[in-house]
């Protein structure tokens, strides 16, 4: 026998029990997003590599070492599996001149790809729900995003989540802070680690985000961006905080929150939990006023965020969120050729009336078929044997006790609706 082939490391199969929870989550997400007026957009999974280099920044972990990039074997074009959705969403908005129709509230969800070291909560294929508000300038939309998240955590019953907030100011303010930061780090160059020395002139802000314990004291004492923010940036930041306070959403200002993508300015935020171990950031985002212009669009402000679906679902489960089991309403068992043909007709008739119906396939004794019916979780079995087939009738059998009933095909749907109503107060869709 040849060796079995396994999935790519860090890329997971989502098996039916789990996939049903995903679908319930996706349904909930759709309602939540439309409650805030966000509309769906779907972008390709593969984009030209320069899109991500320009948007995310050349000197970022993602672009330097995590992108799945390859050359199109047919025309030599450099392509990349998307590591995130903001760049693609902005590209699509520019390409289709969406902002000519006014500001846009958009969302997307789907797989993203980063060649990271896999561990619990960190995968090479993972999924995001991303939200982007293009063409909005004020702090109101930043606050709206945070309020939206808070409502979702509440709807899902998630526990132990906290909000970290910072402002990265404008590019001019960051430039002045950068100068001061480089001067400070130059004075302490011998204390920096390899990553720090490499980033000293390319991305010194990221050094502040280091996890290296040996650098913590150095980083603590470094010039703080907040001291370089001008009046407009401070007012914007204040505007966000006012809404959060009004809404009663607790937050912590974390001056070292800088984010791993270069396009951000002003408000940035992360939702973190202590319940998931090292990969505790479940959702993150902020404002990116320069990105649309940087990607060739007419200058327009924007803000957004994305959540990691695997992490949210893990936390949902941790917090006791039980997704409902999805079961059919009827399982059809049958024996004999004529019964098999009638079973097809009966099952289709039921589906035509909106009942979720599983037709037993593959034969077997009535006893073994009834075991399958039981395992399916369906509240009713439809039993069709020689007798029923000869009379053109079917037997409707409640699986959890109660009288069985023999009915004609025409009577079947109303009879089932009536019995389902008796079981769970549902009107059976009729
Ligand atoms: P990000 O912080 O890179 O931001 O990713 C957002 C979220 O995706 C993270 O907080 C985390 O929950 C999840 N995530 C990231 N990498 C992984 C991974 N390897 N495995 C599992 N989950 C992961 C962005 O991607 C920005 N595009 C967010 C944004 C939208 N900003 C403005 N608009």
- Among 155-169, 193-207, 326-340, 382-396, which stretch is predicted with the lowest mean pLDDT? 193-207
What pLDDT does 429 receive?
Answer: 44
Helices 49-56, 86-95: axis angle to 10 degrees equals 110
What's the 126 CA to ligand 1 centre distance in angstroms?
Answer: 9
Q: What angle separates helix 337-352 from helix 409-424, to the nearest 10 degrees?
A: 60
Whether residue 152 sits in one domain with residue 72: yes
Pocket of ligand 1 (CB under 6 A): 84-86, 114, 116, 122-123, 126, 128, 130, 132, 260-261, 281-286, 288, 304-308, 310-311
Q: Is the pLDDT of residue 324 over 80?
A: no
Indicate whether 194 belongs to any domain: no
Could you tell me how many residues make up the chain?
Answer: 430
**CA nearest 87: which of 117, 130, 123?**
130
Over pLDDT 90: what percentage of the chain? 83
Q: Could you tell me if residue 150 is inside a domain?
A: yes
Q: Ligand 1, atom 15: nearest CA belongs to which residue?
A: 308
Range of the domain at 342: 330-426
Q: What is the CATH number of the domain that holds 308?
A: 3.30.930.10
Read off the pLDDT of residues 282-313 as tens digits, 9 standing for 90 and up.
999 999 999 999 999 999 999 999 999 999 99
User: Which of the two residues, 407 and 159, has the higher pLDDT score?
Assistant: 407
Do 164 and 88 fall into the same domain? yes
Strands (E), 98-228: 104-113, 125-134, 161-167
Q: Measure 198 CA to ligand 1 centroid, in angstroms.
A: 24
Q: Is 325 a member of any domain?
A: no
- Residue 353 and residue 389 in one domain: yes
Question: What rounded mean pLDDT belongs to the chain?
Answer: 94
Residue 202 lies in a domain: no
Are 290 and 155 contained in the same domain?
yes
Q: What is the pLDDT of residue 208?
A: 83
- Return the C-alpha torsion angle 210, 214, 220, 222, nearest 10: -80
In a domain, 212, yes or no: no
Q: Is residue 66 part of a domain?
A: yes
103 and 136 in contact (C-beta within 8 Å)? yes
- What is the total count of domains within the chain? 2
**Is the pLDDT confidence value at 1 over 80?**
no
| C-alpha distances in Å from residue 194, one per residue of 197, 199, 207, 215, 256 | 5, 9, 11, 12, 20
Looking at ligand 1, which residue's alpha carbon is closest to its atom 10? 283
- Rounded to the nearest whole angstrom, what is the distance from the C-alpha of residue 423 to the centroid of ligand 1? 44
User: Both 353 and 407 in a single domain?
Assistant: yes
pLDDT at residue 425, as a whole number? 55
From 293, 318, 343, the end of a domain falls on 318
* Statement to judge: residues 314 and 388 lie in one domain: no
Instruction: Choose one of 61, 128, 153, 161 to mutate for the ligand 1 pocket test, by most ligand atoms within 8 angstroms of C-beta.
Output: 128
Q: Are 312 and 394 within one domain?
A: no
Ligand 1 centroid–CA 41 distance in Å is 18
**Residue of 43, 281, 284, 312 to mutate, ligand 1, most atoms within 8 A of C-beta:** 284
Q: Give yes or no: residues 24 and 137 share one domain.
A: yes
Instruction: Please say if the pLDDT value at position 133 is more than 50.
Output: yes
pLDDT in tens, 102-131: 999 999 999 999 999 999 999 999 999 999
Inside any domain, residue 151: yes
What is the tens place of the pLDDT at every residue in 164-213? 999 999 989 999 999 999 999 999 988 998 888 888 898 888 888 788 89
Does 337 lie in the same domain as 282? Answer: no
Report, in this order, helix, strand and coil percent for the chain, each rounded to 5: 45, 20, 35
**62-67, long-range: CB within 8 Å, 24+ apart, which pairs?**
62/114, 62/260, 62/261, 65/115, 66/114, 66/115, 66/116, 67/113, 67/114, 67/115
In angstroms, what is the span from residue 260 Cα to ligand 1's centroid? Answer: 9
Domain match, 251 and 293 both: yes
396/291 same-domain check: no
In the structure, what pLDDT confidence band is assigned to residue 424 with cuts at 50, 70 and 90?
A: low
CATH number of the domain that residue 377 is part of:
3.40.50.800
Domain-located, residue 391: yes
């Amino acid at each position: 026998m040849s060796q079995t082939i396994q999935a790519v490391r860090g890329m997971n199969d989502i098996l039916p029990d789990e996939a049903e929870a995903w679908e319930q989550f996706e349904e909930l997400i759709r309602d939540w997003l439309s409650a805030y007026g966000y509309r769906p957009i779907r972008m390709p999974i593969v984009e030209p590599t320069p899109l991500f280099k320009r948007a995310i920044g050349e000197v970022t972990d993602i672009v330097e070492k995590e992108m799945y990039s390859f050359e199109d074997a047919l025309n030599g074009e450099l392509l990349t599996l998307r590591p995130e959705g903001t760049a693609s969403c902005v590209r699509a908005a520019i390409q289709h001149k969406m902002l000519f129709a006014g500001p846009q509230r958009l969302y997307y969800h789907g797989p993203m790809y980063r060649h990271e070291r896999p561990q619990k909560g960190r995968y090479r294929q993972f999924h995001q729900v991303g939200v982007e508000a293009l063409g909005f300038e004020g702090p109101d939309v930043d606050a709206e995003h945070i309020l939206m998240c808070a409502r979702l955590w509440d709807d899902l019953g998630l526990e132990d989540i906290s909000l970290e907030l910072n402002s990265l100011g404008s590019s001019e303010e960051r430039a002045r802070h950068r100068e001061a930061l480089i001067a400070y780090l130059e004075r302490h160059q011998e204390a920096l680690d390899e990553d720090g020395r490499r980033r000293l002139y390319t991305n010194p802000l990221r050094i502040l985000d280091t996890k290296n314990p040996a650098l913590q004291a150095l980083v603590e004492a470094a010039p703080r961006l907040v001291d370089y923010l001008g009046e407009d940036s401070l007012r914007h930041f204040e505007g966000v905080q006012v809404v959060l306070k009004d809404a009663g959403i607790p937050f912590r200002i974390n001056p070292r929150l800088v984010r791993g993508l270069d396009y951000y300015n002003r408000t940035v935020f992360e939702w973190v939990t202590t319940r998931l171990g090292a990969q505790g950031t479940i959702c993150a985002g902020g404002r990116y006023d320069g990105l649309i212009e940087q990607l060739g669009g007419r200058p327009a402000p924007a803000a957004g965020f994305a959540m990691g679906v695997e992490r949210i679902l893990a936390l949902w489960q941790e917090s006791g969120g039980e997704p409902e089991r999805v079961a059919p309403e009827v399982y059809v068992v049958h024996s004999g050729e004529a019964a098999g043909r009638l079973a097809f007709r009966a099952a289709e008739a039921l589906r035509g009336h909106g009942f979720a119906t599983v037709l037993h396939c593959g034969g077997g004794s009535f006893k073994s078929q009834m075991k399958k019916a039981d395992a399916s979780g369906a509240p009713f079995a439809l039993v069709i044997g020689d007798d029923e087939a000869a009379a053109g009738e079917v037997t409707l059998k409640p699986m959890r006790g109660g009288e069985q009933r023999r009915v004609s095909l025409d009577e079947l749907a109303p009879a089932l609706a009536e019995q389902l109503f008796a079981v769970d107060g549902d009107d059976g869709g009729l």
